[in-house]
Each structure stands twice: as structure tokens, then as C-alpha cells.
Structure 1
């Protein structure tokens, strides 16, 4: 067999193969044998009919087709493995020439993952520090306050709302989402609403309504409102007094395994520190991959970019749905067009695919792998954490990729710590 590989671009190739008639014949015989095993012929037991009779019954065209299919599959596999090609999608096969007693010629068109040379990533890893961040007393106090408030008792009141009361409201503004009515509830003074909004609620009683106008700061994240005035209409649905439990050793013991308040605070500190450490490592991992990417001449296949961009856009739209926000309202609020958002998604897609390919290349170079046992264990962990998830809903390939990425990132982190 003769094979020639043509590169149309860095990730698109065509495989041209020629199979001489003498090379083709064994495949024809094998195809005929396979067909004979499953073809019923009158007067013979299944699989026992003479090959000549089977050939006449099914027709040579069917045998030729099966033989060609076998040759193409075999040649495709050999070429991909020999050249270390990794396909992105299904191959497109075209039979260029075939006639009995003559050579078979065919073409396979396939898109593959790009090949690139990795820089010295061990040196890059050593040069970028993991920036640690300590937990402050203020952060511990804030978390402790949240726990205290979550275990408070509420009492309805007819008095006007004051800071520290639990309030339930409905509000709307013609400048926000076409005057859509929003429902919210929070501790007055801690709702993190627009500056001045919560102060306007003070003194309002259950059932009362109020209209007011606020000046919106120029740096407000909702771009459509930034630097402008917003008109609000608010209805107070409920005002409740909060009876907070006293922060003492008894309070800590009621939460479970804590001997006293100091032990609770220490546990809070450890939890917050763990979160900060995770954030620091994630930031470091992103910086490492970005630094490596800058030293690589990497061609990203358009098919991968398009698929990832569409996935990112779908995720963003789902987030809007969770927030009960119309997608078009979100776009207008950010003063962005669909094209602007698509451009942002495309940029994010390019970064994520680059990082994925870099991690994959390092895994291959360092012989980092994921076993089937590890995959199954992780799937079991997911099912135990999320009982509502069905095993059929879990993408095993995605699980494998996540585990592999984590292994590579851990490998890089070990290099950093050993430097």
C-alpha cells in the first residue's frame, strides 16, 4: 500500500492511499467469509454454504463495499498512530478510483489536534510565585456574624423598618429590565443594594409603598444605569425583628463538635484559609498556563473554537435564567450587543482551549495518565455528593479530562514547591 499525507493547514490533513489489486484480494476474501457467516442460504446451515454461492446471492458489490470499508478503517488507524495524530472529529472518506483488477484509491480528510513544542515549563513554574493570603480577624467576625444571623429567631412587627430588621420587599424601576417587578429579602443595612436604597426603606411599615429617585455612581456595574438617575417604586411586604442568639460557648456547642467559642472561631479561620489557599492556587495555575501559552506558536482549530464559544454562551444564558433575567435585558444593561458578547466568549474560548492543549501536551510528555479505576471512583464520588444526578447524565470523558488536568496541575505545583 502507498500512503501520502497532505497538510491543508496546521490541523487539517488529507491521507491519500493506493491499494494494489493483489493487496486488495485478501480483504475481499475476508469480507466474503464474514458475510458468509451471517447469510442464510436455502438448503445450507448458517455459515456452511459455499463461498461462491454466497457471493452470487449477496452480489460482489456488497463484498467489495465491506472489503473497502475494512481497508479504509485499517489504513486510517495505522496512519493516525504512526504519525501521532489525534482526531478532533470524524474522518471524511472519499473513494477516488476503484474497479476490479485495478488499484483502489481513496482519500481520508480529517481535522487533528495541533502539534506544538512545549517551552521549558519547569523554569516557568519556578519563576511565578504562589501568593499566599492570610485570614483577617474582620473576616472571621463577618463569618461568625453570618452564622449568628442564620440562627436567629424572627418576630413580625408593625413598627417601621430599622437597620438590623429583616425586610421583604418588592421593587421596580422603569430604568431596569423594562420596569420588571423584583422580589428581595435581607437584613436592612446589609442588603448590598444601590447606595441610598436601603436608607429610603427605613421607617416603612408592612404594606406601605414609596417612590424615590437615586443618583447612580459612574462606576456602577450595571452600565446602562451608571452615572444616571434611577426611579424606584418599593412596596414593603414584611418587617421582622431579629432575635440574635448570644455568641458564647453554649452557642458554639449547639452547632455540633465545638467545645467553646474559641474552637468555633478557629474552625472558621481554617475554613476561610482553605478557601483563600484554593483561590491562590487557581490564580497561580492560570498565570502559569498563560505564561506557557505566550511562548508557544499554537494554531487553534476553528471547529474547537466555535464549539467552546457556543458552550460558554449557553452557560452565560443559563446564568441569566437562574437570576430570572431576560438575556436581552442583560445585554442592554451592560450596553453590549450580541456581537460584543460573542467576541468576549470567543476570547475566553481561545484561552480555555489553549490551556487544555498545554495540559494535555504536558501529560503526554510526562506520561501522566488516569486509570479507569480513578474515573469510576470519581463518578461514585459525584453520585454520592449529588444523589439527584443520574449515572447516565455523567460524561465519563469529561470526568477523565478533569482528573487528568488536576494531575498535571498538581505535578506542576510539586515542581514549584521542590524548587
Structure 2
């Protein structure tokens, strides 16, 4: 196998690969075997048709086309190993010659950038001691009580503490403002969830009554152009309800499940709060470790790599919007932004993600951290179960992609766990 490198930039090169007749033989034979499975030729069983007879039957071109992908995939892996290239991605495959005598092709390769890796051991970071305050438990109990409140229609005038449902429209200078209309909007009167003065205007109104009034928008109004301006409101009260919050007594506690006393409930809540705090602290420490290593590392990021990461971020954001029944174009139009604005805002995030990913890869390589097939199979199985639970069509799932993503996630987790072991002071 002949190989030739043509550097384009520090992080991109073109690789030419040439296979001779002898090297092509195994791929042509495999291609023939695959094709013969679907062809019936008298005197031969499917898959057992000799190469020369198959050539006469279907011609060289079909065999060459079938062999091409196998030959390129296999030879490219061997060629990059031969040239000691660390490849991130390949693109722009160009077939120069494809015959039974020789295969020659060129492909552009994006290479992992060189880096000066900062210190990643003995950073001596300290885990914060996790404590649960009595105030937090009380707040959690109040939240539970309010979440099980009951509502009763009320025909009298609205007072603070009543649950209201309203239709409203907001305008300025005689024109409706963007996002200034809502129907059956629920809220508790007196909580201060609207601009100053709004809720006071609704005191005393009954179900079915309407009111128009004007207020000055605060300086921190969500539409900056309207801050300090006069806004005109049209409000119709659709419902007024009294709110009854249950008492924290024995019967209520038992209704929550397996609790026999308030003390058991408080202990369970405390454990939940502690677990949540510990999770947040673990995430904080992981980010601090990565940030410190990143600060002391030097990586020259190729622009194309950053653009690809931005493509991935936007594609993922677009997918999430679709799951909520929204379109990216409409979302951006609402914000009066373009994809270009989004790319500019997210560039720093994309660069950070790439740098930290490269750092983890380099540390894993230096520390010889490996992921075995059994781990990948187990994680991939878990992903497939999740997809099934979400109702995704199993036939459309690319298993190789699932396994690759699973392997990358396991590798990342193993490297981060290694960094935690080497950098956290035990408390």
C-alpha cells in the first residue's frame, strides 16, 4: 500500500492511498461473495459462485462498486496508522482510480491539534461540607402542602390570596406588544408576579368582570424598548377561587405514602435535599477540575472544528425546539435574531466544550484508560431501552452510532472519575 501526505494546514491534511492488484484481491473476493448471495446461477449454491464466473455474469463494475467501500474503510484505517495520524474526521473522498488492477483515492483528514497539557494531578480541590438547614425542610414541606391545595369557585370580589384566571392584552402607543396577550392565565393574587400596580388593579373584581387601565413599565421590563413607557392593559377575570392549603397532620402525612410521622417525613425530605446538594457539588467540582486544567493548557483550535461544534449545538437546539412543537426560524424571529447571532453568542461555549473534550482525550491516552466491549454493549442496551420507552422506531436506530456514543460517554466518565481521585482532598 502506497501513501502520500499533502499538508493543508496544521490541523488538516490530504492523504492519498493506493492499493495494488494483490491488495485488492481480498476485497474483490468478499464483494463477489456478497453479490453471489443474491444471484442464482445454475450449478452453484448462493454465495459459492467463483469470482471469474460471477464477473462474466454481472460484469466488473458491480463488483468494483461493492468492493470500494470495504477497501476504503479498511485501507484508510491502515494508512492513518502507517502515517501515525491522529484523525478526528474525514471528508471529501475523491476516487482517482478504481479497477481490478488498482484502487487510488484521496481524502481530506482533520487531525487532532497539538496541545500543551496543563497539570492535572494534585490540584488539591476541596469538597464543600453538605448541610441541610431546618429552613430548607420547612420550605419543602410548605411546597408539598401548597401543591395539594384545593380550589373552590368564589362569586365574591377578588382578594389577596385568591387564585385567579384571567385573559389579558397589553398594548403601547395604541398597538399590541409582542408576547403581550394571554388567555386563562393562572396566578395567586398578591404574589407580585406582574409589574408593580397590576395586581392592585384587580382587587375587588368578580368573575366575568373586565377592566382597562394603564401602568408605567419598570426599568427592568423584559422588552427593553418599553422600559419606563406607559402600557395599556385590558383584563377580563375568568375565574376567582379560594385556596385551601391542607394542615400538616397525621392523615395528610399518611396520604403521602409510607410515612407514619412528621419526623419520618422530615427525615425523608432532608435526605432528598442532601442528595440534590451532593449532586450539585459533584458537578461543581468536576467543572472546577476541568476549568483549572484548561486554564493551564494550550490548544490551538482549528476554526473548522469550532464551526462543526457550533453546527452540532444548533442542530441539538433545533431538535429540542421541535420536541416542544416550535421551529428554530420562528424562535429566532421572535427574538429578532439570526443563526449567525446564535453562532456568535455560542462560540465561546463551543470552544470550551472542544478544549475540555480534547483535554479528557489526552489525559485518557496518557493514563491508558480503556473502555471494553462489554461496557459498551451494556451502555448501548440501556440507550436502546430509553429510546424504546420514548417510542422511537428501533429500525431507524444506527447501532454503530449508538455504540460509539456509549463508548465516548463511558470513556469521559472514567477519565473524570480518575481526575476526581487524583485532585480532591478527602473531607
**Range class of TM-score, shorter chain:** 0.7 to 0.9
Distance in 2 (alpha carbons) for counterparts of 1:352 and 1:33:
41
The CA deviation at 1:239 is: 0.9
Which residue in 2 is equivalent to 1:327?
331
The CA deviation at 1:337 is: 5.8
- Structure 1 segment 67-216 matched on structure 2, within 5 A: 71-82=71-82, 83=84, 85-89=86-90, 92-95=93-96, 105-124=104-123, 126=124, 128-131=125-128, 134-174=131-171, 176-177=177-178, 179-190=180-191, 192-216=193-217
Which residue in 1 is equivalent to 2:347?
346
The CA deviation at 1:45 is: 3.0
1:299 partnered with 2:301: yes
Higher strand share: 2
- Structure 1 segment 386-401 matched on structure 2, within 5 A: 387-390=389-392, 392=394, 396=402, 397-401=404-408
The CA deviation at 1:156 is: 0.8
1:411 partnered with 2:418: yes
The CA deviation at 1:320 is: 7.8
Contact preservation (8 Å) 1:173, 1:179: yes
In structure 2, the CA distance between the partners of 1:174 and 1:261, relative to structure 1 (3 Å rule), is: same
- SS of the aligned residue for 1:231 comes to strand
Contact preservation (8 Å) 2:158, 2:240: yes
In structure 2, the CA distance between the partners of 1:29 and 1:372, relative to structure 1 (3 Å rule), is: closer
Query: What are the ranges of 5 or more consecutive residues in structure 1 without an aligned counterpart?
Result: none
In structure 2, the CA distance between the partners of 1:412 and 1:171, relative to structure 1 (3 Å rule), is: farther
Which residue in 2 is equivalent to 1:2?
2
**What whole-Å deviation, never above 9, does each CA across 1:321-365 have from its counterpart, x for those lacking one?**
579x96256415xxx565433311333333333333333433444
Contact preservation (8 Å) 1:312, 1:345: no
Distance in 1 (alpha carbons) for counterparts of 2:62 and 2:248:
83
The CA deviation at 1:204 is: 1.9
TM-score normalised by structure 1 residue count = 0.79
Distance in 1 (alpha carbons) for counterparts of 2:149 and 2:363:
52
TM-score normalised by structure 2 residue count = 0.78
Contact preservation (8 Å) 1:165, 1:240: yes
- SS of the aligned residue for 1:207 comes to coil
- SS of the aligned residue for 2:204 comes to coil
Distance in 2 (alpha carbons) for counterparts of 1:284 and 1:37:
53
The CA deviation at 1:312 is: 5.0
The CA deviation at 1:132 is: 5.2
- SS of the aligned residue for 2:171 comes to coil
Contact preservation (8 Å) 1:309, 1:346: no
The CA deviation at 1:182 is: 4.2
**What whole-Å deviation, never above 9, does each CA across 1:192-235 have from its counterpart, x for those lacking one?**
33343333322221111222333333234543444444332222
1:276 partnered with 2:277: yes
Which residue in 2 is equivalent to 1:375?
379
- Count of matched residue positions in the alignment of Structure 1 and Structure 2: 407
Contact preservation (8 Å) 2:85, 2:111: no
Contact preservation (8 Å) 2:162, 2:243: yes
Distance in 2 (alpha carbons) for counterparts of 1:189 and 1:122:
54
Distance in 2 (alpha carbons) for counterparts of 1:109 and 1:84:
12
- SS of the aligned residue for 2:220 comes to coil
In structure 2, the CA distance between the partners of 1:225 and 1:185, relative to structure 1 (3 Å rule), is: same
Moved more, 57-66 or 358-367: 57-66
The CA deviation at 1:43 is: 6.2
In structure 2, the CA distance between the partners of 1:246 and 1:109, relative to structure 1 (3 Å rule), is: same
The CA deviation at 1:158 is: 0.9
Query: What RMSD over aligned residues (CA atoms) do the two structures have, in Å?
Result: 3.9
Contact preservation (8 Å) 1:36, 1:54: no
The CA deviation at 1:317 is: 4.5
Contact preservation (8 Å) 1:27, 1:70: no
Moved more, 81-90 or 247-256: 81-90
Which residue in 2 is equivalent to 1:314?
318
Contact preservation (8 Å) 2:306, 2:354: no
Query: What are the ranges of 5 or more consecutive residues in structure 2 without an aligned counterpart?
Result: none
In structure 2, the CA distance between the partners of 1:379 and 1:274, relative to structure 1 (3 Å rule), is: same
Contact preservation (8 Å) 1:5, 1:14: yes
In structure 2, the CA distance between the partners of 1:240 and 1:79, relative to structure 1 (3 Å rule), is: same
